[in-house]
Structure 1
Amino acid sequence: MSKEKKVALVTGGNREIGYELVKQLALTGYKVFLASRDPQKGYEAAQKLQESTLDVSFLLLDVEREENIRQAATMVDELDGRLDVLINNAGVYLDENETLLSMDPSLLKRTMATNFFGVYHVIRSFIPLMERHGYGRIINVSSEYGAISEMSYQGAGAYKLSKLALNGLTRLAATEIKGDIKINAVDPGWVSSDMGGTDFIRK
């Protein structure tokens, strides 16, 4: 890898875990694309970090829209011609108290669209930027709910399936990716947030 400034991209980067990831990468010296599907919130989050003299740029990226993903990849290519770190952080948790077979199927479709297919399409669109330089790190933000053992408990069926599928995607992609490009899934644990809530209850 060359000594040029490294470039990172974080999906769902406008708040909570994503925002902190953007901040820490920028503090480490990366040029960071703060990707968000909400233009106003994304721009405001990036601007706040820019005020701290951090090299952060807002990138419009809705992981549920394939064409938008391709456009975002083209923009990063045109601006920097490289991507060293990709963190797939965007996600939804829509079915906390829903059982899989009784929930509205639209909840499952929406959850899979963001948490699984969104990650799949983002990787497909951005990995050519890594392959061009023979280097890259891809990190998929997963959850303990994606563990096989969690399938023994009712509730959050759509979310659990989406993270189980994400873990499978990570393992399969790792067998296909060549060169010094690595892909891993991480479980950040419970975080007080809009998605995780404010009260932590462990079984």
Structure 2
Amino acid sequence: MANETLIALVTGANKGIGLEIARQLARAGVLVLIGSRDVERGSAAAALLSSEGGRAKFIRLDLNDHSSIEAAAETIRTEHNRLDILVNNAGIVDAEDGPPSSGSPEAARRIIDTNFIGTLAVTQAMLPLLRQAPTARIVNLSSSLGSLTVNGDPNSPYYSARLIGYNASKAAVNMLTVQLAAELRGTSIAVNSVSPGYVKTDLTGHTGFMTAEEGARLPVKYALLGEDAVSGQFVEPGGTTPW
């Protein structure tokens, strides 16, 4: 996949791993659209990457505001008429989330509305633009916590991480990957779920053991896969993740 003129949209790219994914794509010569619901932070992130020599533009996009999603798609259509890479990075956690016996159903709804429904809405809005690209890549940021196998394995280090809303949201994102990859089989669009690892960001309360730079490497790798790209995979830094 030649990257001289590639156009990428990264959602939630104003900070954390999203910003680092955008930075690494920009360093690879990609024009990066910084998707952010916050105008000030998104504009600042785009300016930062531009000051570092990359090509970056801010585009307002709120996963909970479908009109902003449609407006973003229309802006990309008007200015570029295609999209080569979509990185569905934006996501939330909620302090009221917890085990199935006590986690707040309202918190679970908020998380799923953003992490899954919002991601689905963005993907659907951008698909016509991705179809206009010679080859296109969709990277869905997932988590090992979205693996049913991992959640059911007492020997897994993640076994005790019972966050019904967050874990379910990432399992749903994985279902999106599986079904969309099957639907797009035979096209030039590859879609994969990528778990970046346990990264030190606001989302994890900075308790991870990987830096944002380290965590961004695998999503960027899958965003830049060549013409022989795999599709329908669930991967993490250590290799393939069981669904």
With normalisation by structure 1, the TM-score equals 0.92
- Aligned-residue offset at 1:49: 1.2
Match of 1:59 in 2: 59
Query: What's the offset of the Cα at 1:81?
Result: 0.8
Per the alignment, do residues 180 and 115 of structure 1 end up closer, same or farther by CA in structure 2, a change over 3 Å counting? same
Please list every run of 5 or more consecutive structure 2 residues that lacks an aligned counterpart in the other structure. Answer: 153-158, 210-243
SS at match of 1:93: coil
Give the secondary structure class of the aligned counterpart of 2:132. helix
1:12 equivalent to 2:12? Answer yes
> Identical aligned pairs, as a percentage?
36
CA RMSD, 1 decimal? 2.0
Aligned residue-pair number: 201
Which ranges of structure 1 fall in alignment gaps of 5 or more residues? none
**One-letter identity of the residue aligned with 1:181:** I
Counterpart in the other structure of 1:105: 105
Q: What is aligned with 1:165?
A: 172
Cα distance between partner residues in 1 of 2:149 and 2:2: 42
State the partner residue of 2:149.
149
Could you list the per-position Cα deviations for residues 99-145 of structure 1 after superposition, in whole angstroms to 9, with x for gaps in the alignment? 22423222011100111011111110001012123521000000000
Change over 3 Å in CA distance of 1:4–1:198 after alignment to 2? closer
**CA deviation after TM superposition for structure 1 residue 2, in Å:** 8.8
The answer to whether 1:196 aligns with 2:208 is no
Report the Cα distance in structure 2 between the residues aligned to 1:20 and 1:3, rounded to whole angstroms: 18
Q: Counterpart of 1:91 in 2: which secondary structure?
A: coil
Q: How does 1:80-119 map to 2 (within 5 A)?
A: 80-95=80-95, 98-119=98-119
Question: Residue 161 of structure 1 aligns to which amino acid in structure 2?
Answer: A
Q: Distance in 2 between matches of 1:200 and 1:57?
A: 29
Distance in 2, matches of 1:97 and 1:83, equals 35
After TM superposition, which residue ranges in structure 1, 4 or more long, deviate above 4 angstroms?
Answer: 1-4
Q: CA deviation at 1:3?
A: 8.3
Distance 1:2 1:52 in 2: 22
**Distance (Å, rounded) in 1 between the aligned partners of 2:208 and 2:199:** 8
TM-score by length of 2: 0.77
Q: Is the 8 A contact 2:97 2:103 kept in 1?
A: no
- Which residue identity is paired with 1:73? A
Tell me, in whole angstroms, the C-alpha distance in 2 between the residues paired with 1:162 and 1:130. 24
Aligned counterparts of 1:158 and 1:2: Cα–Cα separation in 2:
39
Residue type of the partner of 2:25?
L
What corresponds to 2:216 in structure 1?
A: none
CA distance in 2: counterparts of 1:78 and 1:48, whole angstroms: 25
